[in-house]
Amino acid sequence: MKRNGKRWLTTVSIVIVVLFSIVLGGSSYLVKYALRPLADIERKNAKSYEYMFTEYPFLQPWVDSLTQVSALRDTFIINPEGIWLHGYYVKAAKPTNKTATIVHGYTDNAIRMLMIGYLYSHHLGYNILLPDLHYQGQSGGSAVQMGWKDRLDVMQWMHVANDLFKGDSIETQMAVHGISMGGATTMMVSGDQQPSFTKCFVEDCGYTSVWDEFTYQLKEDFHLPPFPLLYVADWICNKKYDWGFKEASALNQVKKATLPMLFIHGGDDHYVPTSMVYPLYEAKCEPKELWIAPGSAHAMSYRDHETEYTEKVKNFVGKYIN
């Protein structure tokens, strides 16, 4: 009996160790898959201008004209963690203190937000600043931060933009506009204490939280429930990058936000599902507005409805920046 009991205990122990190893290995893979997608980032970096000029043909003559007069300029900062971060900026054709800080999405970069830069610069006459987020574009860093740590970098960029574009002793009037992960980042920024020059936010197809988005993607891509892999992945992310998937909540941040916000979401979004925008909108206090872009897939609302999108943004920010 004792020998059989020892064999049973040994077998159970081996099974537990094997299962733990499988879960730990699977969770580690998920963290790397989600937060260090280097191949996707490099591919997008290499083809950013080509992609943008194909999807938005009107951008090429605009970018060419900026390049000819050296108006599309690079700038760099070092964040408090000592990481070099890159951004582009363009001063308005006519001097103004109206400014937009424009935030890109997951595995994208600043160049892939030039269509929104065009909206603000060409149509609205704003100064624009477009940062490359942590680990993406030309910025440094060890992994994608899904908006949570990025919100601190974006706030630093907002102060840089204010310094670049303010007049003589006059602060800028600033809108912050983000798409996809940039939309989530924008909402995460909105819940922190704002400088006096921040006037409003525009978020386009951002997720409620990193936990919610990863739960959705885990089911869609791998047909798996969140337990146990996502729970262990969350623990790994906390240990490795000092933030957690549930902590990174745009929903909790918009509950604290007091400045005006325009919510935009594609009506046929199956990457960050359209259903996510409704609890976000409900959580935000007034003033706020919501526009569901008919039939648009993820991050395609501007491409599909360029004129209406431009008018929605123009009318919204025009209420708070003049």
Structure tokens at 20: 């733990």
Does residue 194 lie in a domain region? yes
8 A C-beta contact, residue 129 and residue 155: no
pLDDT at 257 over 80: yes
Residue 90's domain is classified under what CATH number? 3.40.50.1820
pLDDT at 3 over 70: no
pLDDT band at 72 (very low <50, low <70, confident <90, very high): very high
CA distance 312 to 69: 31
Residue 140 CB coordination number (10 Å): 16
Cβ burial of 80 (10 Å; 0-12, 13-18, 19+) is exposed
pLDDT digits (tens, 9 = 90+) for 75-91: 999 999 999 999 999 99
pLDDT band at 167 (very low <50, low <70, confident <90, very high): confident
Which structural domain, as residue segments, surrounds residue 101? 36-209+248-318
Q: Which residues pair with 15 in a beta bridge?
A: none
Q: What is the mean pLDDT of residues 226-231?
A: 94
Q: Higher pLDDT residue, 6 or 79?
A: 79
CA distance 48 to 55: 11
8 A C-beta contact, residue 98 and residue 127: yes
DSSP 3-state assignment of 185?
helix
pLDDT at 6 over 80: no
What's the pLDDT at 11? 57
Element (H, E) at 89: strand 84-90
pLDDT at 237 over 60: yes
Does residue 11 lie in a domain region? no
8 A C-beta contact, residue 133 and residue 106: no
pLDDT digits (tens, 9 = 90+) for 112-163: 999 999 999 999 999 999 999 999 999 999 999 999 999 999 999 999 999 9
What's the pLDDT at 19? 57
CA distance 22 to 95: 59
pTM of the predicted model as reported, rounded to 2 decimal places: 0.94
Does residue 294 lie in a domain region? yes
What's the pLDDT at 149? 98
Nearest C-alpha neighbor of 177 from the set 193, 164, 196, 161: 161
What's the pLDDT at 229? 93
Does residue 300 lie in a domain region? yes
CA distance 148 to 168: 33
pLDDT at 9 over 90: no
Does residue 177 lie in a domain region? yes
pLDDT at 17 over 90: no
Computed over every residue of the chain, the mean pLDDT equals 94
pLDDT digits (tens, 9 = 90+) for 123-134: 999 999 999 999
pLDDT digits (tens, 9 = 90+) for 188-212: 999 999 999 999 999 999 999 999 9
pLDDT at 12 over 80: no
Q: Total structural domains in the chain?
A: 1
pLDDT band at 216 (very low <50, low <70, confident <90, very high): very high
What's the pLDDT at 191? 98
Does residue 237 lie in a domain region? no
What's the pLDDT at 24? 77
Does residue 226 lie in a domain region? no
Does residue 154 lie in a domain region? yes
8 A C-beta contact, residue 132 and residue 139: yes
DSSP state of 263: E
pLDDT at 22 over 80: no
pLDDT band at 310 (very low <50, low <70, confident <90, very high): very high
Dihedral (C-alpha) 169, 175, 176, 178: value to the nearest 10 degrees? -150
Pairing of strands 84-90, 73-78: antiparallel
pLDDT at 54 over 80: yes
Q: Higher pLDDT residue, 290 or 26?
A: 290
